[in-house]
Amino acid sequence: MTLPMAPPPRLSKPSSTSIGAFTCALGMAIVGTSIAIAPALADYPVLAGQAWRYLLAGVILLAVLGFRIAPLLRVSAGNVARLVLIAGTGLAAFNWLLIEGTRHADPAFMAAVVGATPLVLALAGPVAGGTPIRAQTVFGGGVVVTGIVLVHGATSAPLIALPYALSFLACEVAFTLLAVPVLKELSPIQLSAAACLIAAPMLAVLSVATSEQSLQLPSGAETLALLYMAVFTTAVAFILWYSGVVRLGADRAGLFCGVMPIAGYLAGLALGNSQWAVTALAGVLLCGAGIAVGLSPGTTRGRARRGAEAAEEAAAEMIR
């Protein structure tokens, strides 16, 4: 007599939140570990290097899309303006402000100020989208910001550096916040390709305007570094980040900005450029705790609201 075999257990599919958390964390980790690549470009013109980086990334992303640019040409006028602003602020101005800001202040000061991004997005994301602010996300964002400051170290700077640092922060926020409505019309790959291709000529113009040696040929090591930055730190990381923003929203995705300094710090330890410190370790733990708190379900009312949001997302997927 043969006993009937029990059907194999069905594996539950990962939730949209889990997938979004994974892609955002991985994207920011890739960006953070670029600290290992940056020294290879120390002697190469910064703005020219960024122009090449975004041009290469844009071409790679277009190749992934099969060079189908028709969807990019049919973008609404409002989203065309947003794409230009994403490229102009989140990419071009971001790099220029980083250079100018570090002429007046320690890089740690700039990093500490831009570390406020999770808290700003936790507040600005829902306001821009017309949805209620999540209290647990704001609290978690505050914890992440505290952790980022501990990882980078508290530092001060002259007053003249403050406008650069605050503008630097605004550009970082704009990179995510402006993308939310665009992602309703374009995929993460399409948005990333468009932003990179728009930013490349902007940075080339900035390079010429600042009298950089824009046509300097990169060495072998510099070429490899630029390729790494274009493929991984830009093309791959942008797709991962924007894929997470689609699933989490700008407010909860912003929590994962705390992964970048953690990855940078750990990469520095691996390379011998950083040292173990109790405050930095505490900062790493705080960032992790803040992300966990910010992603928590929260109150019953909040769970009900997110249940309705999940139902809307499922309906949208069925329509597609």
**Using an 8 Å Cβ cutoff, are 95 and 46 in contact?**
yes
Mean of all residue pLDDT scores within the chain: 84
Two tokens, residue 197: 């291709």
Domain boundaries, the chain: 18-296
**Using an 8 Å Cβ cutoff, are 65 and 193 in contact?**
yes
**What span, in angstroms and rounded, lies between the C-alpha atoms of 161 and 158?**
6
**What span, in angstroms and rounded, lies between the C-alpha atoms of 248 and 254?**
9
Backbone angles phi, psi at 126, to 5 degrees: -65, -35
pLDDT score for 155: 66
Q: Is the pLDDT of residue 130 over 80?
A: yes
* pLDDT class of 218 with cuts at 50, 70, 90: confident
What's the pLDDT tens digit per position in 258-299?
Answer: 898 888 878 777 777 677 888 888 988 999 999 999 998 765
**What span, in angstroms and rounded, lies between the C-alpha atoms of 248 and 142?**
18
pTM for the whole thing? 0.85
* pLDDT class of 2 with cuts at 50, 70, 90: low
pLDDT score for 313: 43
Phi-psi region of 298 (alpha: psi -120 to 50; beta: other; left: phi over 0): left
pLDDT score for 98: 84
Among the listed residues 172, 200, 260, 208, the one whose alpha carbon sits nearest the alpha carbon of residue 53: 200
Q: What is the identity of the amino acid at 10? A: R
**What span, in angstroms and rounded, lies between the C-alpha atoms of 271 and 164?**
30
**What span, in angstroms and rounded, lies between the C-alpha atoms of 78 and 85?**
11
User: For the chain, what percentages of helix, strand and coil (3-state, to nearest 5) are there?
Assistant: 80, 0, 20
Two tokens, residue 302: 């909040």
**What span, in angstroms and rounded, lies between the C-alpha atoms of 71 and 186?**
8
Q: Is the pLDDT of residue 11 over 70?
A: no
What's the pLDDT tens digit per position in 178-195?
Answer: 999 999 999 999 999 999
Two tokens, residue 260: 């970048």
